[in-house]
Amino acid sequence: MPELTAAGDSATLPRKIAGILDECRLSHAIHGRKLKELSSLRSSTSPRPRSLFFSSFVKALTPLFDFARRTVSSERVVRFVSAFAARRDEKDARVSDEFLEEFIGFLLMAARAGQRSARFRACQIVSEIIMRLPDDAEVSNEVWDEVIDNMKQRVEDKVPAIRGFAVRALSRFANDVENSDIISLFLQVLPEESNAEVRKTIVLSLPPSNDTATAIVSSMLDVSDAVRRAAYCVLASKFPLQSLSIKLRTTVLQRGLSDRSLSVTKECLRMLKDEWLMKCCGGDPIALLRFLDVETYEIVGETIMEVILKDGVARVQEGQSIRQYLASRDKGEAHTMDVVRIPSNVGYFRDLLQNCISSTLLEDHQTSLRDTPFDGYLDVPNIPIQPILVDCLLEVFDAKKIASKLEENCPLLVFKMLQELQVFRWEDLL
């Protein structure tokens, strides 16, 4: 492309740039080719009037700042312009860096405008540029300080969309220790934010820490399904299971699994199965229950195991009994019943009985219990009392009901066996 000069091109250059923007408005497929074309056009200006390109670019882009609606075509232009500003032409790196800083300065000035549409577009493009820039972008600290200060002000803008873009722009800096005031600002405005989409953006922008974990868990009570779903998404992606207190772990699961929205429950289940069970516990449900302290939070343990068993995530290997399954997770040579007394194993065993065995009782009681830790007590003749014995085992939750059944239905043939069962402290399994 021939080199442009100041004379005779001050009028044609804006039209050329506007033509490129207009083509990009119609299709996203040509953006890559047009980025190269616009970069070539910028490089073709002679050194002296290089500001001519910037002024022409801004002039061609000005109509976008007067248009606040988010249409498909306007969003294409925003993405193209942001990609162009963030793109560093290695053949002309200095020019690219200078243009980026100059364009950001223009956007920050527009972000302070009284016109709503100008502030909206400026914050939108700033956030898009920041999210596209690589970590090693050549931008001076002074420019970043201006961006941060300006976006902090816009977080309190009266227009929700502007607040959302400001939060998105600041989220890139929130992980820096020196910018801890950004996190403090997020935590301050989150409870007061009236717009659900902005609250969702804030939650998604929070980095992992003790303070942010509390705020994220609190957001699980938000009135918006999208915000609650975002809270579980952030917790799954940024907070390892071990980093949360036991109380927070149980609170998270209690709220998620009982949420009124199916989409929130699904996000909670995804976190539970994919992140906590598979990644943090290696797929071992017993290890997961230990993390949840089911001796203290018993109902949570029951709920978790019911979900896992019904979903089929935790399975006993073919040819392996429940006795072997539980014993294989105990490094010692303890008797199976001693293994069962471990609080987490108690919860797993009890839920396994309730969810996997109780549904088959009417077909074959004896076979149902053959693969449980009680199989050693089933070597008796097939007599009518067998279903009653099975019921006793499955109803370990209710000691009074068990005692009643043992007194009323206890033939001598199985009396000794039932006595052996009563040696166990039933409350250990309650």
DSSP labels, 141-178: HHHHHHHHHHHHHHTT-SSHHHHHHHHHHHHTTTTSGG
Residue 225's pLDDT is what? 96
Largest CA distance in the chain: 114
Residue 31 neighbours by CB distance under 10 Å: 15
Question: How much is the pTM?
Answer: 0.73
Residue type, 210: N
Query: H or E stretch including 417?
Result: helix 412-423
Nearest CA to 235 out of 215, 262, 263 is that of 215
Residue 404's pLDDT is what? 46
CA 364, CA 367: separation in Å to the nearest integer?
6
Going residue by residue through the chain, which has 430 residues, state the pLDDT in tens, using 9 for 90 and above. 444 454 446 678 889 999 999 999 999 999 999 999 999 888 887 555 557 889 999 999 999 999 888 899 999 999 999 999 998 877 778 888 889 999 999 999 999 999 999 999 999 999 999 999 887 777 888 999 999 999 999 999 999 999 999 999 999 998 887 888 999 999 999 999 999 999 999 999 999 998 899 999 999 999 999 999 999 999 999 999 999 999 999 999 999 999 999 999 999 999 999 999 889 888 888 788 888 887 778 788 778 877 777 766 655 454 444 445 445 554 444 333 333 333 444 444 455 445 544 444 444 454 545 554 444 433 333 333 334 344 444 343 344 444 444 444 443 333 333 443 444 333 333 3
CA 264, CA 239: separation in Å to the nearest integer?
18
Sign of torsion over alpha carbons 278, 280, 281, 287:
negative
Q: Are 375 and 365 in contact (CB under 8 A)?
A: no
Mapped onto helix, strand or coil, the DSSP state of residue 335 is coil
DSSP state of 4: B
Provide the β-strand partners of residue 45. 4
- The DSSP annotation for 183-245 comes to HHHHHHHTTT---HHHHHHHHHHPPSSHHHHHHHHHGGG-S-HHHHHHHHHHHHHH--GGGS-
Nearest CA to 168 out of 137, 213, 124, 212 is that of 124
Residues in the chain: 430
Domain locations along the chain = 1-205, 208-315, 332-430
CATH class of 1-205: mainly alpha
